[in-house]
Structure 1
Amino acid sequence: MPAVPRFSSRTLGIGAAIVTVLVWTAFIVIARASAGRSLTPFDIAFARICGASLVLVPWGAWLVARARRSDPAQGSLFGLSPVPLRATVVAGVFGGLCYALLAYSGFFYAPATHASVLMPGSLPLWTAVLAALVLRDRLTPGRIFGLALIVLGDLLVGGASLLHAFEGGQIWKGDLLFMSAAFCWACYSVTVRCHGLEAVRATIAITVFAFLAYVPAYALLAGLGAVTSRLASAPLGEIGFQMLFQGIGSVVISGITFTRMIQYFGPVRSTMITALVPGLSALGAVFFLGEPLHWNLIAGLLFVTAGILFGVQRMRTGGVAPVAVARG
């Protein structure tokens, strides 16, 4: 038998960083492209949850079964979540359901270039505010300046669309949905910190919750005609692709590679690496989707990226900060 190649920790760390950035960038571009095809945002969320559940639900059951050999009280939700019930429900509502539903809905109104600025830009802002209120984190002058740059970048993008709301435009709705999705992921991030949850276990927990709460409810409502679903008429290839990319790619693979990147680079340098996502996704939207890149988008992109990088640099001497970056 040929020997299995063994990679160094540096190679694995760099590879994990590349995969994470590529998947998070592709998430924004592909989600916007999917908005012009067959499925509704709720259908895409359904496919995302089902795809991720194929891997994470059995994984969670295995982790709980192993833990219960020494402590029968371990796990929750019928032995599928490796996280206690309260943390599973709170994290699942924000990170498993609300984030996906709001984000996918936003792509049906606003272009990917807006998502490139507002989702990565709003996330560190909401996370810092919530962490200060809930966890009593201290907002240093350096962090406040970085957050001010992010707010300015968000206003340049979202504010411009709000000015056109009275003219009958729809983009502002997507912008608000993007910022709301970022707020939900910030709530999830703070919940993870409050309960001291490990990243992979938390990802399993929110997927288990979403599978048990959303999948049967949505299937029932769609079957009764209470909500619009196009799953029955959509091509099987499109449904399979969404399950593969949005579920296994965006949730499972990027969750594992992000954790591996944190282990090698640490939270500070990892945040700096993932600050590439806004710019790369905006360029991807221009190149692959033909979206225009107006001056306010370019300026907003620069301010948001500078705000993330400046805040991280200032936190180098102030301890380890929470990683608050775009999530696919």
Structure 2
Amino acid sequence: MVTVLVWTSFILIARASSDPARGGTLTPFDLAFCRIVGASLVLLPWGALLVYRDRDRGIHQSSLLGVSPLSWRVTATVGLFGGLLYALLAYNGFVFAPAAHASVLMPGSLPLWTALLAALILHDHITPVRALGLGLIVLGDLLVGGRSLIGAFDGGEVWKGDLLFMLAALTWACYSVLARRHHLNAVRATIAITAFAFVTYVPVYTVLLLGGWVHGQVFSAPLREVLFQAVFQGWGSVVVSGITFTKMIQHFGPVRSTMITALVPGLSALGAVLLLGEPLYWNLAAGLVLVTLGILFGIRVALPVATKTIAAQAGSTVARG
């Protein structure tokens, strides 16, 4: 529920901050900067402490000058997808497309990408019922994204945001599957993706801004706005939801975890209508219903599997006792 709440708030706040029509000061790249720096203030000292304790116990697996508790290879792979690409793609998507589109296309398509990647990399089996759910998700995404593609012939740019949202969901699905494949601890994984994003993005963006090569306002915007984004985007979206989401992956697996977020599309779409004044067109409402049904189908098929697994583990424990 914490993950659902933070993800819903992230969609609404990111749209309100990134939409040029709402007069936001910070650019999408500024928001990514605030997100990474805000999270780093908490997670990098935490990572250094974990590395120090590991070395006391004779464990020497660390990277990035001792701030990531994971090896360089794992830090780079999960950090690229879960730390850097996701933020850049999502924030830039909100420039072109409304929050209601993000509600369907980001958390909505996440189970689709995760199921496909889990089948390819983890050799998970896609049951007929789950395949039906994934088919509903595809139809819902097509209803939302298809109309924006048609609008592109009239000079519309919403399709660009829709495409960026879909790619953002794909990168987060890659992180989800990699986290399960490497059996990553929730805290250590969140620290690693933040450390990678900090080392690769913050220095480069700072130099580009100070040199005048890119347009950004993070060093000239009101301090109150920068601090708010650093706290919410960094501490909330990265530290809190990053740890809770990875905990979900540990307990439920990547596919079921992404399907538990079935509440996010509906809540964020409703919030976009009520709080941001966005219209709810028929195709968007229909796509939202189809995506939500598709996610619920996935949850329904995952629950019996999880129950059988728990029962088998309990029986094995009793037999050993």
TM-score (normalizing by structure 1): 0.88
1:32 aligns with 2:15: yes
Deviation of 1:275 (Å): 1.1
For these two proteins, the number of residue pairs brought into alignment is 302
- 2:107 is paired with a residue of what secondary structure? helix
Deviation of 1:140 (Å): 1.2
- 1:297 is paired with a residue of what secondary structure? helix
Call closer, same or farther: CA 1:259–1:176 in 2, change over 3 Å. closer
Amino acid aligned to 1:34:
S
Deviation of 1:249 (Å): 1.0
1:119-142 CA-to-partner distances (Å, cap 9, x unmatched) read 011111111111111222111111
CA distance, structure 2, for counterparts of residue 106 and residue 258 of structure 1:
22
CA distance, structure 2, for counterparts of residue 102 and residue 271 of structure 1:
19
CA distance, structure 1, for counterparts of residue 181 and residue 120 of structure 2:
12
Amino acid aligned to 2:138:
V
CA distance, structure 2, for counterparts of residue 261 and residue 311 of structure 1:
15
Question: Which residue matches 2:66?
Answer: 79
Deviation of 1:194 (Å): 1.8
- 2:108 is paired with a residue of what secondary structure? helix
Question: Which residue matches 1:109?
Answer: 96
2:6 pairs with one of 6, 19, 23: 23
Call closer, same or farther: CA 1:196–1:100 in 2, change over 3 Å. same
CA contact (8 A) 2:186 2:244 kept: no
Call closer, same or farther: CA 1:185–1:286 in 2, change over 3 Å. same
1:139-175 CA-to-partner distances (Å, cap 9, x unmatched) read 1111111100100010010011001111000100000
Deviation of 1:182 (Å): 0.4
Amino acid aligned to 1:24:
W
CA distance, structure 2, for counterparts of residue 229 and residue 91 of structure 1:
27
CA contact (8 A) 2:256 2:298 kept: no
1:204-219 equivalences in 2 (<5 Å): 204-219=191-206
TM-score (normalizing by structure 2): 0.89
Deviation of 1:21 (Å): 2.1
1:216-255 equivalences in 2 (<5 Å): 216-255=203-242
Amino acid aligned to 2:148:
S
Amino acid aligned to 2:304:
T
1:90 pairs with one of 48, 68, 77: 77
CA contact (8 A) 1:150 1:304 kept: yes
1:1-328 equivalences in 2 (<5 Å): 17=1, 19-35=2-18, 36=22, 37-258=24-245, 273-319=260-306
CA distance, structure 1, for counterparts of residue 90 and residue 247 of structure 2:
25
Amino acid aligned to 2:213:
A
CA distance, structure 2, for counterparts of residue 72 and residue 135 of structure 1:
27
CA distance, structure 2, for counterparts of residue 204 and residue 62 of structure 1:
11
- Superposition RMSD in Å: 1.9
CA contact (8 A) 1:131 1:190 kept: yes
Which structure's residues are more often helix, by fraction? 2
- 1:79 is paired with a residue of what secondary structure? coil
CA contact (8 A) 2:110 2:258 kept: no
Q: 5+ residue gaps in structure 2?
A: 308-321
CA contact (8 A) 2:98 2:278 kept: yes
1:188-247 CA-to-partner distances (Å, cap 9, x unmatched) read 112112211112211110001111111001101111122211123311111111001000
